[in-house]
Amino acid sequence: MHATFRQLQLFLAVADHLSITAAARACHVTQPTVSMQLRELSEAVGLPLYEQVGKRLFLTAAGEALVDTARAMVDEWAAFGQRIDAMKGLTRGRLRVAVVSTAKYFVPRLLGSFCASHPDIDVALEILNRDGVVARLRENRDDLYIMSMPPEHIDVERHAFLANPLVVIAPERHRLAGRAAIRLDELAEERFILRERGSGTRLACTAHFAEQGFDPRVRLELGSNEAIKQAVAGGLGLAVISRHALAAHLADDQLAILDVVGFPIVSNWWTLYPRGKRLSPVTRVFLEHIEQTASGVREAGH
């Protein structure tokens, strides 16, 4: 079986985009070039790698199997190139990071200082909900993952690097704003606006409420911290949210943090990757950068 490295790269682009046109655009080649290369690759494999149904493209079983092999080969070659650069005393290459949506409030600062120190490293950042990040982690799509609630069903290496306190927020003129030591049962009649089920914030919040025997009256479930803040400011209810998602000056968002007993919920931000994964030199350099700079992220943001 003969296949070129370029054919594998083009095939992975098609698998990622499920579109010949989008793959051609991403790889800076023409659409006929992609089609021709994939036709030759399919002939080498001896089975169709994809099929077109209407306007949609689907990978066949052979295509799905090739994705895993091709990705491993491309990743291994990229890692080899980085190791050679490291031997030459160079730090360059590509870093792929997938993070949950709440991490967008501080990860860009980490990446900004990292890129300033290592201008020859290209960064691809994926910001998704927790389920999306877990899916990419399961498929080993990236170099590193950042989330607040690591999955229990995937064998991973994980390292806590930053506190992620979860606080109760209310409109700035709420009747309990400014009160100290508010009991949780005093919020029994309040309506709550919570993150969507499956998010790290929601999982931590649900576990804490269950431990306290508290059953919140949920009015809305939203998948965006910004939408939650606007809903709370508009008087639709209280919310539990990461302190990282709040502005340095709460008055800017017309919000107040309530001093509720048992809050903030203590959690952490974690870097993680599949156990046994051989980290590239660039990933190791970024992990060192996180360890060195994460302590200053909190102070810089708030």
Question: Is residue 263 a part of any domain in this protein?
Answer: no
pTM score = 0.72
pLDDT value at 89 more than 70? no
Statement to judge: residues 157 and 282 lie in one domain: yes
Question: Is residue 77 a part of any domain in this protein?
Answer: no
Strand 144-147 with 93-100, pairing: parallel
pLDDT at res. 248: 73
Q: How long a stretch of residues is the chain? A: 302
Statement to judge: residues 173 and 212 lie in one domain: yes
Question: Is residue 127 a part of any domain in this protein?
Answer: yes
Statement to judge: residues 274 and 125 lie in one domain: yes
- pLDDT tier, 302 (very low <50, low <70, confident <90, very high otherwise): very low
Statement to judge: residues 197 and 272 lie in one domain: no
Q: Which two tokens stand for residue 1?
A: 């079986």
Statement to judge: residues 242 and 159 lie in one domain: no
Provide the 3-class DSSP secondary structure of residue 194. Answer: strand
Question: Is residue 78 a part of any domain in this protein?
Answer: no
Question: Is residue 74 a part of any domain in this protein?
Answer: no
Q: Read off the pLDDT of residues 108-132 as tens digits, 9 standing for 90 and up.
A: 989 999 999 888 888 999 999 999 9
Q: Which two tokens stand for residue 129?
A: 């909900």
Question: What's the number of domains the chain is made of?
Answer: 3
Statement to judge: residues 151 and 280 lie in one domain: yes
Question: Is residue 192 a part of any domain in this protein?
Answer: yes
Domain that holds residue 234: 166-258
Contact yes or no for 70/45 (Cβ under 8 A): no
Question: Is residue 83 a part of any domain in this protein?
Answer: no
Please tell me the number of Cα atoms within 13 Å of 277 on its side-chain side.
26
Provide the 3-class DSSP secondary structure of residue 118. Answer: coil
